Amino acid sequence: MSLRPSLRDVFQGLQREGHLDEVAESRARTTLEALQRTSTATPWFVKVLTGIGAWMSASFILSFFACIGIGQNEVAFILLGVVCCVAATALRRLSSGAFLEQLALALALAGLGIVTAGVALETGEAQPAALANLVFSAALIIAFPDSTLRVIATFTLVGAALVLLWNFLGILGVDLGVFVCAALAQGLLLYQPRLAAGRMGEALGSLSLGLATCVPALLLVRSSMRLLDVENWFRFGDASAPNGPLVLTLLLTALALYAAWHTMNELDLEPASTAGAGVFAALTLMAVLTLHTPAIIASIGLLLTGFLRRNVVVLGLAVAFLVLSGAWYYYDLSLTLLAKSGALVGSGAVLLALRWFLFRRAPHSPATAEAR
């Protein structure tokens, strides 16, 4: 099964299942050709210069409000951010073109930052500012029809939620945030075909990409806090959660096992077969070998879901994260060199054995040429 099936393969499969008629492929090719001619009508460097001009225009607009001293009044500052978000959303929905799209993007991001800063200045505390950022980020993800902003808003939403969890639960909040992000990212990817037909279908790709990117970032933050002893600086370190990495690894292992089960069911493979048992055993053994490094099993879970949906970006993130987390595991000073070497050799052997096992049992289909 190829990672990127050709357009002809996709249409032939849909026609065999009775979802499309015989002329659907020709109509789709005509539409794609028209879209390609439209998208390549303007050279890329012209689009880049147009985007730079739009961001400069947005900075000039905001500089005007800064010059008249609106930042000295926190309430007016917050209202300015709200107006920027609403105006940018309306501009993006009612207009088209590279300049206006980039201008709306710049105003929306500026409005989000102004609202967060205004609430922080008004209250003097981090929690209300994080809550305001979370609410406005969620609103922009729903209302603003732009994939770039939705990915960035997902980052800010996760960051705001992490601040709230940190303040209320300490390091347990970081672990909870990692698990929720991983569960949402894998759930959105696993159930993408079903969710794509809903009202939030157009935002699904941006949300899953943003959450899948947040999982490695949060795990690296978590590992850095543990390695640099930052947790004890804030007096809610491993003493309050001595088994935090172990519990997180077990939860992420459950997610990876469910992703493997769902993947085999969707690919018409029997989870109760010998191949399925081998996959589950390999994932469990991998988790046992790296109990104190949840990043490894989390990257494997993302690897499974990215492969199922043929998402090259998520696959790239998962592979890079797997290599980085393996290197991070090796430099963890809390483990002996013998334990590190055994876990690295064992995990590599498990991955190679699993690949060989699946290739021996998977049905091979003839390769098809990519449609131009």
371 has pLDDT over 50 = no
| Alpha-carbon span 15 to 2, nearest angstrom | 19
When mean pLDDT is compared across 214-223, 271-280, 293-302, 350-359, the lowest value belongs to: 350-359
Alpha carbon distance 253, 281 (integer Å): 11
| Confidence at residue 242, expressed as pLDDT on a 0 to 100 scale | 54
Q: Are 164 and 127 in contact (CB under 8 A)?
A: yes
Categorize the per-residue pLDDT at 85 as very low, low, confident or very high, splitting at 50, 70 and 90.
very high
CA angle in degrees (0–180, nearest 5) for 165-167-170: 75
In this structure, what DSSP letter does residue 33 have? Answer: H
297 CB-near residues (< 8 Å, 6+ apart): 249, 252, 253, 256, 283, 286, 287, 290
Could you tell me how far CA 176 lies from the centroid of its own chain?
Answer: 16
Query: Which pLDDT band holds residue 286 (cuts at 50, 70, 90)?
Result: confident
Dump pLDDT digits (tens) for 33-79.
766 666 555 666 677 777 788 888 888 888 877 787 787 888 888 99
Instruction: Round the average pLDDT of the chain to a whole number and report it.
Output: 80
Which pLDDT score is estimated for 252?
Answer: 93
CA separation for the pair 288, 324 (Å, rounded): 19
CA atoms within 13 A on the CB side of 341: 3
- pLDDT the model gives residue 38: 61
Cβ count near 173 (within 10 Å): 19
Using a pLDDT cut of 70, give the percent of the chain over it: 80
The domain limits of the chain are 39-147
Higher model confidence: residue 8 or residue 167?
A: 167
Classify residue 5 by burial, with Cβ atoms within 10 Å: 0-12, 13-18, 19+.
Answer: middle
Helices (H), 191-273: 192-195, 204-227, 230-233, 244-266
Q: pTM for the full model?
A: 0.79
Residues 11-28 have pLDDT tens digits of 777 777 776 777 777 777
335-to-23, 154, 236, 325, 342 alpha-carbon distances in Å: 62, 35, 22, 15, 11
Tell me what pLDDT residue 234 has.
Answer: 45
Average pLDDT, stretch 120-147? 92
Distance CA 17, CA 205 (A): 25
